[in-house]
């Protein structure tokens, strides 16, 4: 069995679509069997293949669009769209949202992924992560799928809007992308600024002085 597990990982690393189809044709169970992180020889923790595809995107070893093609093959062979949610693990959608696999995340939503799930009931949704990472296209898709705009996670009692602001405020350059667009989308769809903490409200007001669209949305 370990040989098969390594086979899935190596095939992802090679971006070998035909090889993946052949392997899963022989053993469809591998579509739901955990593997370690592709391109990482140190990792010993296994996670669902639909999750690990996102790790490969985050490592910039495969493109987001290539990852969608790989994920589609896994789904064609019976991969669970929510991965190991039944084991209270993080879902592939949460992985896509936090690992910058934007197209993959949209693909998962289009295929019925649970947009409301939070790992260990911590309140952190895919919308929190997508907003934090500045994935504006994924934020838009989540909103259109009726993700809860003002849901607050437990650790910091913060909403997706608060997470987008926090990334900019903390100057997290690794995750800084299209947070401004995410903020606009969230505000356009009714995000409540009154439940932001004092520092985040002040930062948002500062942004509004430089961005007329944000100014109009919060006025």
pLDDT tens track for 48-70? 999 999 999 999 999 999 999 99
Q: Give the phi and the psi of residue 107 in degrees, each rounded to 5.
A: -60, -40
Last residue in a domain, options 83, 112, 141: 112
Residue among 87, 4, 27, 3 nearest 51 (CA)? 87
Kindly state whether residues 146 and 94 are assigned to the same domain: no
Q: Kindly report the average pLDDT of the chain as a whole number.
A: 95
User: Does pLDDT of 4 surpass 50?
Assistant: no
Look up residue 206 and give its two tokens: 């500062």
Last residue in a domain, options 57, 89, 112: 112
Mean pLDDT of 73-88: 96
- Residues 211, 124: Cα–Cα separation, whole Å: 28
CB atoms < 10 A from the CB of 154, how many?
Answer: 12
**pTM across the whole model:** 0.94
Length of the chain: 219
pLDDT tens track for 117-156? 999 889 999 999 999 999 999 999 999 999 999 999 999 9
Look up residue 83 and give its two tokens: 């991965």
Q: Give the phi and the psi of residue 47 in degrees, each rounded to 5.
A: -145, 165
Last residue in a domain, options 112, 135, 154: 112
Kindly state whether residues 164 and 216 are assigned to the same domain: yes
Confidence class of residue 5 from pLDDT cuts 50, 70 and 90? very low
Residue among 78, 62, 87, 45 nearest 11 (CA)? 62
């Amino acid at each position: 069995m370990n040989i098969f597990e390594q086979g899935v990982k190596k095939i992802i690393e090679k971006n070998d679509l035909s090889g993946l189809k052949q392997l899963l044709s022989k053993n469809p169970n591998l579509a739901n069997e955990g593997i370690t992180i592709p391109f990482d020889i140190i990792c010993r923790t296994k996670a669902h293949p639909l999750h690990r595809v996102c790790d490969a995107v985050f490592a910039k070893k495969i493109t987001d669009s290539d990852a969608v093609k790989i994920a589609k093959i896994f789904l064609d062979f019976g991969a669970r769209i929510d991965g190991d949610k039944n084991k209270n693990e993080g879902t592939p959608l949460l992985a896509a949202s936090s690992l910058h696999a934007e197209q993959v995340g949209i693909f998962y939503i289009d295929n019925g992924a649970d947009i409301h799930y939070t790992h260990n009931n911590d309140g952190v949704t895919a919308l929190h992560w997508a907003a934090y990472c500045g994935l504006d296209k994924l934020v838009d898709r989540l909103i259109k799928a009726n993700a809860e705009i003002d849901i607050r996670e437990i650790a910091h009692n913060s909403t997706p809007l608060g997470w987008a602001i926090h990334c900019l405020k903390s100057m997290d350059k690794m995750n800084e992308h299209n947070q401004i667009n995410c903020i606009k989308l969230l505000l356009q769809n009714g995000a409540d600024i009154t439940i932001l903490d004092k520092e985040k409200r002040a930062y948002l007001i500062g942004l509004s002085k430089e961005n007329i669209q944000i100014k109009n949305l919060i006025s």
